[in-house]
Structure 1
Amino acid sequence: MTVPWKAVGLLALVLIGTVSAWQFQDWRYGKQLAEQARLHAETLNDLTQAAATAQQAEQDKRLALEQRLATSEQTHYRKLSDAQRDQDRMRDRLATADVRLSVLLDADSAGGCDLSKATGAGGVDHAAVRARLDPAHAQRIIDITDTGDRGLIALQACQAYVKAISASGLAPP
């Protein structure tokens, strides 16, 4: 059986048309995929830069907060040291009898007791009846006030820390 040449030519033309259409589609889709990949890469780059900028801003905020907290800690430590030094001075003055603690007595309750009246130019109470405290009791009072002062300073430090953390919006380190 002989194959007509016209049919072979027609088949060759169809085949050439199909292959060229295929190549054209491959080229066109390849170009579209390359453009899509480029846009995707640009988007990822923009997102990466935005994330890096946000991370840097958060690190800067955290660093600023840490610096404020360090300054606050130094301030409260200084207050605590000053209070401790003042308490130590008062304790030393009590021990050397430079200072004596006394309490104001009600004139009615003093009754017939022969207590000395407080004298001195710096007194606020005019001729008030006062009783001196035993040095051991005075020492205990100083210790109690020392503990109270330390507690108040620590409370102020905690409140300043919480206020700084809540104002910054960051989680504690």
Structure 2
Amino acid sequence: MPVFSLMPVSCRAIALVVFLAVLAGSSAALAWHFQDWRYGRQLAEQARVHAEALNRLALAAATQQQAEQDKRQALEQRLSTSEQTHFRALSDAQRDQGRLRDRLATTDVRLSVLLDADDATSGCSMPATSSAGGVDHGVARARLDPAHAQRIIAITDAGDSGLIALQACQAYIRAVTR
């Protein structure tokens, strides 16, 4: 004899409703767990793909940053070399100018200028002394006062320094724009 036939009729209806509710609830819970498992697996796969994409992007950014750093270091090294070269040229020019000033001050060297041989106002009908190796007369020259010579040397020193600084600036601009 089945258990269901031993129950009163009013309880049978309630038992049937409870049984159907439990059956529907368990099937819903089972479907819920199945969907959770399926969507969880899909979300995990999406998360893995997303993480791999972010990792590739991070590696690409790091590679690009390293390349930019290498370019910057190469540029800094070229600029440093250029700066040292131009500093050396400037210091050599200043040293040479200083020697020339010292030689002018001690009258070891005298600056002179060429005179126009065709100029009638020069007052010199005879050209200056001839050179030792030839029979032609030398070019007429006039000696400069040492103070004037010092001023001329100072002007040329400033000009040389300006030209060296200009070359350094041009080299810097060429190096930066490459």
Shorter-chain TM-score bucket reads 0.7 to 0.9
Contact 1:118 1:130 in 2 (8 A): no
Q: Read off the aligned partner of 1:83 and give its amino acid letter.
A: A
RMSD: 2.2
1:171 aligns to what?
none
Compare relative contact order (CA 8 Å, sep 6+) and give the higher one, 1 or 2: 1
Q: Which moved more, 1:35-44 or 1:149-158?
A: 35-44
Q: Which moved more, 1:10-19 or 1:54-63?
A: 10-19
1:15 aligns to what?
25
Equivalents in 2 of 1:122, 1:51: separation in Å?
75
The answer to whether structure 1 residue 51 and structure 2 residue 57 are counterparts is: no
Contact 2:111 2:144 in 1 (8 A): yes
What residue ranges of structure 2 are gaps of 5+ in the alignment? 1-9
Report % sequence identity: 67
Deviations 1:145-169 (A, max 9, x none): 00000000001001111111111xx
**Which protein has the larger Cα radius of gyration, Structure 1 or Structure 2?**
2
1:2 aligns to what?
11
TM-score, with length taken from structure 2: 0.84
Deviations 1:110-137 (A, max 9, x none): 54624871544599x9522111111111
Q: Read off the aligned partner of 2:159 and give its amino acid letter.
A: G
TM-score, with length taken from structure 1: 0.86
1:62 aligns to what?
72
- CA displacement at 1:2 relative to structure 2: 3.3
Deviations 1:92-112 (A, max 9, x none): 111122221111111232546
Q: Read off the aligned partner of 2:86 and give its amino acid letter.
A: H
Contact 1:83 1:150 in 2 (8 A): yes
Equivalents in 1 of 2:106, 2:25: separation in Å?
118
Equivalents in 2 of 1:109, 1:133: separation in Å?
19
1:130 aligns to what?
141
Superposition map of 1:1-173 within 5 A? 1-4=10-13, 5-111=15-121, 113-114=123-124, 117-120=128-131, 127-167=138-178
Q: Read off the aligned partner of 1:87 and give its amino acid letter.
A: Q
- CA displacement at 1:67 relative to structure 2: 0.7
What residue ranges of structure 1 are gaps of 5+ in the alignment? 168-173
- CA displacement at 1:10 relative to structure 2: 2.8
